[in-house]
Amino acid sequence: MWPDNETERDFLNFSGVADTVAEIITQAAGRPTSIGISGSWGAGKSSMIKLVRAALAEKDQKDSEHFIYVEFNAWLYQGYDDARAALLEVIATKLNEEAEKRKTGTDKAKELLQRVNWLRAAKLSAGSALALALGLPPTGLIGEAVSFGRKAFSGDLTEGDAEDVEKLARDALTTTGGLIKAKPELSPPREIQAIRDCFEQTLKQMGVTLVVLIDDLDRCLPPTTISTLEAMRLFLFLDHTAFVIAADDAMIKHAVRQHFGSVEDDLVLNYFDKLIQIPIRVPPLGTQEVRAYMLLLFIEAAEIEDAQKESIRGSVCAQLAKSWRGERVDRAFMQTICKDAPPELVARFDTADRLAPLMVSATQIAGNPRLVKRFLNALSIRMTISRAHDVGVDEAVLAKMLLFERCGSPKAYAALTAAVNNDPDGKPVFLGEWERKAAAGEEIELEQVWDDFFVREWLAIAPPLADIDLRGVLYVSREHAPLITPEDRLSSEGAELLTAILTNPDMAASLHDRLTVLPRPESTVIMDRVLERAGREQEWGTPAILDACIAVAKADPSLGTRVAGFLGERPSGQIKASIVPKIGDQPWASQVFARWKNADVSDPVKKAIEATEKG
């Protein structure tokens, strides 16, 4: 298994791009710089951020440059804190810590932190300034003070209010103790300018360049995205600063449109271009890069010395850098640098050779590193199940079937699994002629459900499946393609519906008309399999499998009590408030809510239940 997170080890030959970004920041020599690293979800932006920091650290040692790094993930603060205020505080706190450590610029760094704290205490970042400007009731200590002031001015201040004023004064002293004393002339615009001046002076006294690395901005909701960009703008284009922002530029532009309403594309581009001086896109992966990535993942999981793994990684990246000259990274190359590779590792090299071209051409994967890794993780899990149950599935066969499951048409995959289930030996014999012609490079006439470019390439992948018993493969793939035994009493229509539901559970509602005409025994079998799959969920907000549960229960209302019983038995810690409105209009929901209210579910869940029941 491979963890789905960023890494400082380069598996994709991204070091060249990271070194370029580091060189741009170094050559700026203290001039303000903003760099946008763009790419789709899972393309490797977070890893690129890590590689940029590593490249800068290496240059820092060689060139005696001085950098301070701040890593900020706006997504972590979403829903818990104002991203704008959080970024200000993270930067000010980091500079204060570094100043104390370096024994230079301490006074200015401390002043900067105090000014930021004053803004937070005043809740200007959360909207109190706007509330005051609009004559609305402000929040926080300042809001309470203003409210008491209005009462005193109008003559409505009571004896109880007077006591509250004294308490408020004590709280204000406690809360703002150690912060900058608010002078009469203090105002948000002046204080913001003072923060900018103090920030610049701090960096100048310390003789450093602040490098702010912002990641996961494209995961945030539009308000969080805009708040982070606005906070970034406060420090942007000041001397001795460099901002590196990793985000999908399409998502950023979407957030700008959402924030400003229906604005023209030119205005969206202008907003983005003013923030990002130098846009850099994560390079898309071709067959060579995907094959090398898979090979290195297999090496990472192999039981060989870490020093040897690092040596192999270096050799692969060096070979990739020469791929434009026709140099290849494939099984043959890997065997030249892994002369003592065990047979099972060599077999995995073959798997990478066979699958890499389709990993790039299949639109559902399109060479995306995260999706490639998830595919290999799914393959690893199913092989583990195979060994645990002594099924004896061949990894190459399982990989070919998993690829079709992930990238092929759901109807074609349903037809394939139905053919396996209906054959006494579990063999998809109808593939025989197609696979023979595909291997020979001959023209193939495919039926409509199969007529697809992906299928034509998939048929040519070794090994051919027509003469292989695939029942073991379906057994270890039950989460998507159930093995239908005679005892299940499912018709071909029922089997096709079950496969479709488990393959795309979020689309189960579209099958309502077909589900309603199924005999009740078949609906029961389908619900059995859906709930079996649902039992693997660890968090119950609105997972896709919930749509399948609801759809089957709507088609056969007698099954609603089973869904209610299943949800009522989920551990209370797994229940999230978002599930309440999702199931609120179902006839069996009241049973679930009654059990949850008596269980130790969170307060947000209980409040959501109360709101739904009132509604």
DSSP string, 280-306: EEPPPP-HHHHHHHHHHHHHHHSSS-H
DSSP string, 492-546: HHHHHHHHHHHHSGGGGGGGHHHHHTS-HHHHHHHHHHHHHHHTT-S-BSS-HHH
Q: How many CB atoms lie within 10 A of CB 26?
A: 19
Residue 291 lies in a domain: no
Residue 112 lies in a domain: no
Closest residue by Cα to residue 379 from 301, 465, 471, 292 = 301
Per-residue model confidence (pLDDT) at position 135 = 38
Residue 197 lies in a domain: no
Closest residue by Cα to residue 514 from 526, 530, 531, 528 = 526
Q: What is the CATH number of the domain that holds 48?
A: 3.40.50.300
Closest residue by Cα to residue 507 from 570, 552, 562, 477 = 552
**Rounded Cα distance, 22 and 472, in Å:** 51
- The answer to whether 314 touches 11, Cβ cutoff 8 Å, is no
Please list, in sequence order, all residues whose beta carbon lies within 8 angstroms of the beta carbon of residue 90, skipping any fewer than 6 positions away. 70, 72
180 by DSSP, 3-state: which? coil
Residue 35 lies in a domain: yes
Helix ranges (H only) for 535-588 are: 544-555, 560-568, 579-583
> Residue 578 forms beta bridges with which residues?
none
Q: What is the CA radius of gyration of the chain?
A: 30
Residue after which a domain boundary falls, among 281, 309, 340? 281
When divided into structural domains, the chain yields a total of 2
What is each CA distance from 322 to 12, 112, 277, 314, 317, in whole angstroms?
Answer: 13, 49, 30, 13, 9
**Rounded Cα distance, 278 and 37, in Å:** 9
| Residue carrying the six token digits 């060139």 | 63
pTM over 0.75: no
Domain that holds residue 607: 486-614
Q: How many CB atoms lie within 10 A of CB 275?
A: 19
> Residue 215 forms beta bridges with which residues?
73
- For residue 190 the two structure tokens come to 């002046």
Residue 149 lies in a domain: no
Residue 275 lies in a domain: yes
Residue 61 lies in a domain: yes
- For residue 194 the two structure tokens come to 């003072």
**Rounded Cα distance, 179 and 116, in Å:** 9
Backbone angles phi, psi at 20, to 5 degrees: -65, -45
Per-residue model confidence (pLDDT) at position 172 = 45
Closest residue by Cα to residue 212 from 262, 275, 269 = 275
Residue 63 lies in a domain: yes
Residue after which a domain boundary falls, among 281, 314, 333? 281
**Rounded Cα distance, 341 and 575, in Å:** 47
387 by DSSP, 3-state: which? helix
HEC string of 413-474 equals HHHHHHHHHHCCCCCCHHHHHHHHHHHHCCCCCCCHHHCCHHHHHHHCCCCCCCCCCCHHHH
What is each CA distance from 183 to 70, 118, 186, 191, 206, in whole angstroms?
Answer: 31, 12, 5, 11, 28
Amino acid at position 108, single letter: K
HEC string of 226-274 equals HHHHHHHHHHCCCCCEEEEEECCHHHHHHHHHHHHCCCCHHHHHHHHHH
What is each CA distance from 421 to 176, 427, 430, 476, 581, in whole angstroms?
Answer: 72, 8, 13, 14, 39
Amino acid at position 545, single letter: I
User: What does the pLDDT look like over 169-216, one tens digit per residue?
Assistant: 445 444 444 444 444 455 666 777 888 888 888 888 888 889 999 888
65 by DSSP, 3-state: which? coil
**Rounded Cα distance, 401 and 379, in Å:** 10
Residue after which a domain boundary falls, among 281, 306, 336? 281
Q: What average pLDDT values come out for the chain (615 residues) when binned by 10 residues?
A: 67 81 87 86 82 84 72 76 77 90 88 81 47 39 44 45 48 45 54 84 89 84 81 80 85 78 71 80 86 90 87 89 85 87 84 85 82 87 85 87 87 88 88 91 86 88 91 79 51 84 90 90 85 85 92 92 88 90 92 86 89 83
Per-residue model confidence (pLDDT) at position 61 = 67
